[in-house]
Structure 1
């Protein structure tokens, strides 16, 4: 089975939400993207406020989008250029199946 599409997930600081929306709208594929608030839990306390360290979680905004295989390198390059050293965590997973039920 050849993967033709990937699910890209980004966890970003809330302060970057509007910039990310603007960036992704310029690169938007036919599927668009979703965003929602999440709480990130991580063993590395660097960059966390005292309250976040005590609570053991950090507020983040998660973006998810389907990206065709041929568009993935351009998306990642654009994000690296625009958001270098911003602490964005990301992962890319192959989409085995997608549709509307």
Structure 2
């Protein structure tokens, strides 16, 4: 079975909760997170400063996991963080490893 990269775009208000959940599940292994800006959200979801700049501050989390585990992890995150504004997408990992 192939590996996938799950990308989670998290509003800053729930970033720590998402990280805590991923660490608690333990199955996630190594993952990364970085500050980013999100574009394209409806103005109702942006504060006044974000509406002027056209972007909102967010965190982008990337984790590589077996494709068979993606749906279960997304289900768990959905149970724990309903209506949180977390967006996701999944990409296939062509190759991964650690430099020796």
What TM-score do you get using the length of structure 1 for normalisation? 0.88
Compute the displacement of 1:23 (Å): 0.2
Query: Whose strand proportion is higher, 1 or 2?
Result: 2
Tell me if the contact between 2:28 and 2:63 (Cα under 8 Å) persists in the aligned partners.
Answer: no
Matches of 2:26 and 2:42, distance apart in 1: 32
Output one character per residue of 1:25-77: Cα deviation in whole Å (capped at 9) or x when no partner: 02233632111100011152221011100011100011110011221121011
Deviation of 1:94 (Å): 0.8
Aligned partner of 1:32 in structure 2 is 30
Please report the RMSD computed on the Cα atoms of aligned residues, expressed in angstroms: 1.5
Map 1:3-82 onto structure 2 (within 5 A).
Answer: 4-29=2-27, 31-42=29-40, 44-82=42-80
Structure 2 length as normaliser, TM-score? 0.89
